[in-house]
Structure 1
């Protein structure tokens, strides 16, 4: 069995319309949170920047939540602009739906694969460290250095090869005929 890993190389861009220049891409950049206290209620936003005009916008993380309802360690992480929390927050699908943005993963991930030195047929386990949406057919073609047509002929697996996934899967590589 060969292990393959899909990992992010940077935070993905956000497909979000800029109010100034109408561009469709924003970045979380350095990853900063903004916290506003109003009495005993907190608002928390993730700041994003337009890639064209550098305009800063806010993505709502928490709105009017009681201070006591947030875990003190999490609140401290918001205040310290913890980069792991920035990534976790940005990759949250519920946050994306609520704030009406999608993630653009182009150029933001890489496949770490090992060379095939196993006896035919051999099994490959693909593990995702982040929810990178990718078509298994494209991923396998890239990892094995073969065409997508050859992937159709030589790969056996339970997952549809032409449907996007971001969950771990495995497949078997058959010898070339």
Structure 2
């Protein structure tokens, strides 16, 4: 069985309307948080920047949270703008739902495949693993990995999941020999 791995190459863009230019894309840039204390209560925001006009906006991560309710390690991560914490918060579906944005993964991932892939006998079995929760349609992923058209993929691939519905969980498939 051949192992394929889907990896994130950068943070995805946010599909978020800008209040100044009404552009539909924003980025976290290098990833920064803003922490504001008011007595024993904290506000934490993830700063995002409009791709078109460069305006900075804030996405609330914690609002009026008690200092004691936030893990000290996590709080330190907010203060030092920990890149892993930025990625974790950005990929959190609750934050996306609460702040009304979706993630645009175009150009933000790559597929790592072994080089000896087609030298094996047919049928060929492949196991796809996701190092990051990148939602990808399996038919597009397989077409890219094997260098086939999507119609050819639909004809030659046997898989237990829907090839036309995006997934970010691992799956396996079998490639049947061509005509």
1: CA distance, partners of 2:91 / 2:67: 24
2: CA distance, partners of 1:97 / 1:116: 42
Aligned to 2:135, which of 126, 133, 140?
133
Structure 2 gap segments, 5+ residues each: none
Q: How large is the Cα RMSD of the aligned pairs?
A: 0.8
Counterpart of 2:82? 82
Counterpart of 2:99? 99
Counterpart of 1:28? 28
Q: Post-superposition shift, 1:119? A: 1.7
Counterpart of 1:161? 163
Counterpart of 2:13? 13
Counterpart of 1:42? 42
Query: What is the TM-score when the length of structure 1 is the normalising length?
Result: 0.97
Aligned to 2:176, which of 166, 174, 177?
174
1: CA distance, partners of 2:103 / 2:150: 25
Give CA-to-partner distance per residue, 1:69-120, whole Å, 9 cap, x none: 1111110011000001101110111110000000011111111112222221
Q: Post-superposition shift, 1:50? A: 0.4
Structure 1 gap segments, 5+ residues each: none
Count the aligned residue pairs: 177
Query: What SS does the aligned partner of 2:168 have?
Result: coil
Query: What is the TM-score when the length of structure 2 is the normalising length?
Result: 0.96
Say whether 1:147 aligns with 2:152.
Answer: no
Runs of at least 4 residues of structure 1 off by over 6 A? Answer: none
1: CA distance, partners of 2:24 / 2:150: 31
Q: Is 112-121 or 165-174 further displaced after alignment?
A: 112-121
2: CA distance, partners of 1:129 / 1:61: 24
Given that 1:2 and 1:116 are in contact with CA atoms closer than 8 Å, whether structure 2 keeps it comes out as no
